[in-house]
Amino acid sequence: MYRTGFFAGVSLAVMAGVVTYFSGTSISGAADVDATKVYMTHCKTCHGENGHPTDLGTGLGAREFANAEWQAKTTDEQIIKQINNGTPEKMMPFKEKLTQDEIKALVSVIRSFGKK
């Protein structure tokens, strides 16, 4: 009896800890996303530091993100979808590498290239 109570108490404490831990990270997670850093880590190789495609990106068919016409006709949803799913043989999908918060934050990085 004593042991069962002891273990129940411990697992309750662990559960409470886990809940606090996860709610804490998800709240700060959204605010803490360093979108520029994510971009520099995962996207720069092809799309370049300023959204101007690298030789590798150009070779694969990546476009200029600073292009005003492209910015105007592309919706945030399309950008999110592209990052999630990629394009076979051109751009790898990121849905398993990045969180949805990170992917949404990348939209503003891509938009910022259009404002230069």
Note the residues at the interface with ligand HEC (CB under 6 A): 42-43, 45-47, 57, 60-63, 74, 79, 82-83, 87, 90-91, 94, 106, 110
Q: What angle do CA 46, 82, 29 make, to 5 degrees?
A: 90
d(CA 31, CA 104): 12
Least distance in angstroms from the C-beta of 68 to ligand HEC = 14
Least distance in angstroms from the C-beta of 17 to ligand HEC = 33
Least distance in angstroms from the C-beta of 9 to ligand HEC = 45
- Listed in sequence order, the residues at least 6 apart from 51 whose beta carbon sits closer than 8 Å to its beta carbon are 64, 65, 66, 110, 113, 114
| Cβ nearer to ligand HEC, comparing 9 with 59 | 59
Q: Name the strand (E) or helix (H) holding 42.
A: helix 35-42
| Cβ nearer to ligand HEC, comparing 5 with 88 | 88
Least distance in angstroms from the C-beta of 65 to ligand HEC = 7
The greatest distance separating any two alpha carbons of the chain, rounded to the nearest whole angstrom, comes to: 72
